[in-house]
Chains A and B, each alone.
Chain A
Amino acid sequence: MDLTKFDEDNSKSCRVVSAIPEVCKTTDCCLGIDEAGRGPVLGPMVYGICFCPISMKKDLENLKVADSKTLSEDEREKLFAKLSEANSYIGWAIQILSPNSISTSMLQRAKYNLNAISHDTAIGLVQYALDCGVQLKEVFVDTVGPAEKYQEKLSKIFPGVDVTVKAKADALFPVVSAASICAKVARDRVVKSWTFIEDLDVDAEYGSGYPNDPKTKEWLAKYMDPVFGYPQFVRFSWSTAQSILDSKAVPVHWDDDEENGEKAAAKQNCHSMLSYFARKKSGDTKREPHRYFTERKLETVSSL
């Protein structure tokens, strides 16, 4: 797994792929999808697919792949090596969603939530396999959200493919376990060797990255900058990060912030009904500047 392309610019998302085994282009195949690093406040989320001919499912099973969560990092690396060795009939691909792309998507003006991001990423990877000529007949997906709706959505997008979406699919189907290993290995490696794009002197004692990990909490508390908040390694869209910034960093206001009550009304120039009946204040005849100036936000300043 060559992650140099991502390491070169870890602010953007990136796809890393294996070679496509020839046999997968000529025989019916099954494909598993799983993700790694959905929960952590730090680092990327990685989506993985793994595929092999349906007739060789037993061979894949014999590699003893298991749900990546039940394995240690060493065991996962060993299993990934086995999957790579079996490149005559097993192919894989991963999509690394950088923490920066997760933050900026979720905090976009037109909000793009994590479920939608997940679905689109999974769909993109399946499409990639199809575009490469993999003869897909079965797709197995692990999910956290409601399975039925997701299954219906995927079946519609990929007619002719038998889609199974199930919670804990990574423990039930070896091809999903294999996908989860690819994803988790990539996530582990990326987090371990994270190069900060920022010019910072930080330690790597950030723990698992899960919000409830004491090491992660400590790291987040230690490295908060009052103005910039955090390096791009942190997912700003996570409530863990946001609540620290809300209480400790300097406030930042955007023009699309949701404001409530009076302030918002004042901004939108909404007047109370009563104000129409009120007597105009006599001194209140200041001339509005011409539209030319208001449009350009130009103002006369007479004191500093």
Chain B
Amino acid sequence: MSESRVTTLKLSTLSQAEKHPVHFLPCEIEHNREANVDRYFTPAINKNKNEMTVSFRGRALKGQEINLPQGYTGLVLKEDHRPISDEEDRTLRVKSTFNSLTYWNLETQPTTDDTIVMAMNWPDIAAAIHGAVED
């Protein structure tokens, strides 16, 4: 990657960004564009008391909704024009925002030991260990 290249995030687009639900799946899908989530996935989610289940490609998933750490917002970015060369600058806009997401485990019940739940604690810990010490 070229060192001189500049990537710009157009923050002005933030105010127009819509809020879309986000699902975090326990698999790698080789697809990086629109998908029929509203037609295939969302209607098939089974909410039973505090348990959420669904299936994807015939595999059973169990899910849970988690909030992002306080003071953080999730952004989905979109690059409308892919640069042709490595030197060209890049421009991204905010496509949608989210403050919570649903993460799904393959067959196992969501717990506080799940990677993504533990990862969300980092901002608090980082603030504590890097913050100024008061006497």
> Whole-angstrom distance between the alpha carbons of A237 and B59 in the complex?
9
| A9 and B41 alpha carbons, distance in the complex (Å) | 15
- A298 interfacial contact with B, CB 8 Å: yes
**Docked complex Cα distance between A59 and B38 (Å):** 54
Q: Write the A241-257 contact mask toward B (1 if CB under 8 angstroms, else 0).
A: 10001000011111110
Interface membership of B22, Cβ < 8 A: no
Q: Does A100 contact B (CB under 8 A)?
A: yes
A11: chain B residues within 8 A (beta carbon): 44, 46, 55
Q: How many residues of B contact A (CB 8 A)?
A: 33
Contact string against A for B residues 9-43, beta-carbon threshold 8 Å, 1 for contact and 0 otherwise? 00000000000000000111111000110111101
User: B119 and A237: CB pair below 8 A?
Assistant: no
- Name the contact of B35 in the complex, choosing from A228, A236, A256 (C-beta under 8 A): A228
Is residue A104 within 8 Å, beta carbon to beta carbon, of the partner chain?
yes
| Given known A-B contacts A227-B35, A228-B40, A250-B29, A298 and B57 have beta carbons under 8 A apart | no
Whether A235 sits at the interface, judged by CB under 8 Å, is yes
Q: Report the separation of the CA atoms of residues A298 and B28 in the bound assembly, to the nearest whole angstrom.
A: 17
Question: Do B115 and A295 have beta carbons less than 8 Å apart?
Answer: yes
A226-B29 Cα distance, complex, nearest whole Å: 10
Q: Does B68 reach chain A (CB closer than 8 Å)?
A: no
Known A295-B115, A304-B92: A199·B122 in contact at CB below 8 Å: no
Task: Judge if B58 is at the interface, Cβ distance under 8 Å.
Answer: yes
Whether A297 is near chain B, meaning CB under 8 Å from some CB there, is yes
| Shortest beta-carbon distance from A101 to chain B in Å | 9
Whether B28 lies near A252 (C-beta < 8 A) is: yes
Question: Which of B30, B39, B59 contacts A200, CB < 8 Å?
Answer: B39
In the complex the two chains form, is B28's CB within 8 Å of A297's CB?
no
Q: Is A197 an interface residue (CB 8 A)?
A: yes
Known contacts being A252-B29, A304-B92, is A225 close to B107, with CB within 8 Å?
Answer: no
A255 to B56, CA, bound (A): 14
Report how far A104 CA is from B35 CA in the complex, Å. 22
Q: Bound state CA distance, A235 and B44, in angstroms?
A: 15
Residues of B within 8 A of A (CB): 1, 7, 26-31, 35-36, 38-41, 43-44, 46, 55-60, 77, 90, 92, 106-107, 115-116, 118-119, 122
Instruction: Spell out A's residues near B (CB within 8 Å).
Output: 9, 11, 100, 103-104, 106-109, 197-200, 225-229, 231-232, 235-237, 241, 245, 250-256, 295-298, 303-304
Beyond A198-B44, A232-B44, A254-B26, 16 additional pairs, beta carbon < 8 A:
A11-B44, A100-B58, A104-B55, A108-B107, A109-B106, A197-B43, A198-B43, A228-B35, A235-B58, A237-B58, A245-B57, A250-B29, A255-B106, A297-B115, A303-B1, A303-B7
